[in-house]
């Protein structure tokens, strides 16, 4: 199976490195500066008492466009802010039998990818991995959680999904095919929206927020709002999963923050429209009140207007 990993950041880089280490036919589509760094240093995974590297096969968009060739599988792992550019960059790699597995949060990307490549080429996907890029550009694992979920949007168990899952599992990746991948995507969205809104609104870690009066109540309220939107959309969050999410966002002393918060704190663009604008729009269409999520959306939009004027 010929695999193209679009983006060699903390998420795509980790799963792509696992595939490359297992001997799979993997190519990374990266920006020129990232390509230069990876050719010099290799793609390294560090942390949690492990350190290993692979020497990845790399392509830039210009190189792919000069020699277009279809891939069997595209693992798309970029920020939502880079989705439009990445979609055009990877287009020369998409043939009639290519399967695209996006690893973005939310749902807006499914509409965009389907409009560009057709519904038959786009699968649902959810990744859960606690990694970050450190100052050296290495992928640093921060927790043991690391699994990838995929499936057909219509819920069928297709031969191509099973073939992809088999390749991932053989590479040591915890790959899962749920009964309904859209439900899995909604549940991840509920968690990441709660986590992102809590830390971004309060400008602190989970532990910082919960150490103050009202912090735990805010976390609970955000989770309740996001869960209500999912339920109205036909994907209610089971109580056990809700409790697990609540435990994470109310953990005393927790140093955890999402990548959204790190982007906000560093003065970078955020995925506000993809993660929050779309969610609150759906809430309004479904008649679900979300005053706390609306506040988080407004807060992040003001930041976005400062760092990327006119770039909503």
Closest residue by Cα to residue 128 from 112, 105, 107: 105
Q: Determine if residue 150 is left, alpha or beta; phi over 0 gives left, psi from -120 to 50 gives alpha, anything else beta.
A: beta
Concatenating the DSSP letter of every residue in 123-185 gives: -EEEEEEEEEE-TTS-EEEEEEEEEEEEE-TT----HHHHHHHHHHHHTT-EEE--S-HHHHH
Cα 22 to Cα 24: distance, rounded to the nearest angstrom? 6
C-beta neighbour count of 145 within 10 angstroms: 11
Looking at residue 311, its pLDDT comes to 55
- The token duo for 224 is 């309740």
Are 87 and 64 in contact, with CB atoms under 8 Å apart? no
Side-chain half-sphere CA neighbours of 63 within 13 A: 11
Output the pLDDT for position 49: 85
DSSP tally for the chain: helices H, then strands E: 14, 10
Strand partners, 2: 25
User: Cα separation of 160 and 277, whole Å?
Assistant: 33
Asked if the model's pLDDT at residue 46 lies above 90, the reply is yes
pLDDT tens digits, 146-201:
999 999 999 999 999 999 999 999 999 999 999 999 999 999 999 999 999 999 99
CB 189 within 8 A of CB 105: yes
pLDDT of residue 309: 81
pLDDT higher than threshold 60 for residue 312:
no
> What's the pLDDT tens digit per position in 256-283?
999 999 999 999 999 999 999 999 999 9
Q: Please tell me what DSSP assigns to residue 75.
A: E
Beta bridge partners of 184: none
Enumerate the β-bridge partners of residue 57.
Answer: 27
- Spatial CB neighbours of 181, under 8 Å, sequence gap ≥ 6: 123, 124, 125, 126, 149, 150, 151, 152, 153, 155
Q: Specify the pLDDT at position 143.
A: 85
Question: Percentage of the chain surpassing pLDDT 90?
Answer: 91
Instruction: Summarize pLDDT for 150-164 with one digit per residue, the tens.
Output: 999 999 999 999 999
């Amino acid at each position: 199976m010929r695999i193209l990993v679009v983006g060699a950041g903390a998420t795509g880089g980790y799963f792509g490195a696992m595939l490359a280490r297992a001997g799979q036919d993997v190519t990374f589509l990266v920006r020129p500066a990232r390509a230069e760094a990876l050719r010099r240093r290799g793609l390294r995974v560090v942390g949690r008492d492990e350190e290993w590297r692979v020497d990845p096969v790399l392509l830039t968009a210009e190189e792919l466009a000069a020699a277009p060739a279809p891939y069997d599988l595209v693992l798309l792992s970029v920020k939502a802010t880079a989705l439009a550019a990445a979609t055009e960059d990877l287009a020369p790699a998409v043939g009639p039998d290519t399967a695209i597995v996006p690893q973005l949060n939310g749902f807006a990307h499914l509409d965009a990818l389907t409009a560009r490549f057709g519904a038959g080429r786009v699968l649902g996907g959810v990744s859960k991995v606690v990694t970050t890029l450190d100052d050296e550009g290495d992928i640093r694992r921060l927790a043991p959680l690391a699994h990838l979920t995929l499936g057909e949007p219509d819920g069928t168990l297709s031969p191509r999904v099973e073939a992809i899952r088999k390749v991932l599992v053989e590479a040591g990746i915890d790959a899962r095919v749920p009964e309904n991948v859209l439900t899995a995507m909604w549940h991840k969205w509920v968690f990441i929206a709660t986590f992102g809104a809590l830390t971004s609104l309060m400008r602190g870690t989970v532990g910082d927020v919960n150490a103050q009066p009202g912090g735990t109540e805010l976390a609970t309220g955000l989770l309740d709002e996001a869960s209500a939107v999912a339920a109205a959309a036909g994907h209610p969050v089971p109580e056990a999963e809700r409790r697990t999410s609540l435990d994470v966002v109310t953990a005393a002393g927790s140093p955890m923050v999402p990548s959204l918060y790190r982007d906000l704190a560093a003065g970078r663009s955020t995925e506000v429209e993809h993660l929050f604008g779309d969610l609150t729009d759906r809430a309004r269409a479904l008649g679900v009140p979300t005053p706390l999520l609306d506040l988080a959306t407004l807060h992040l939009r003001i930041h976005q207007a400062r760092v990327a004027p006119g770039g909503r």
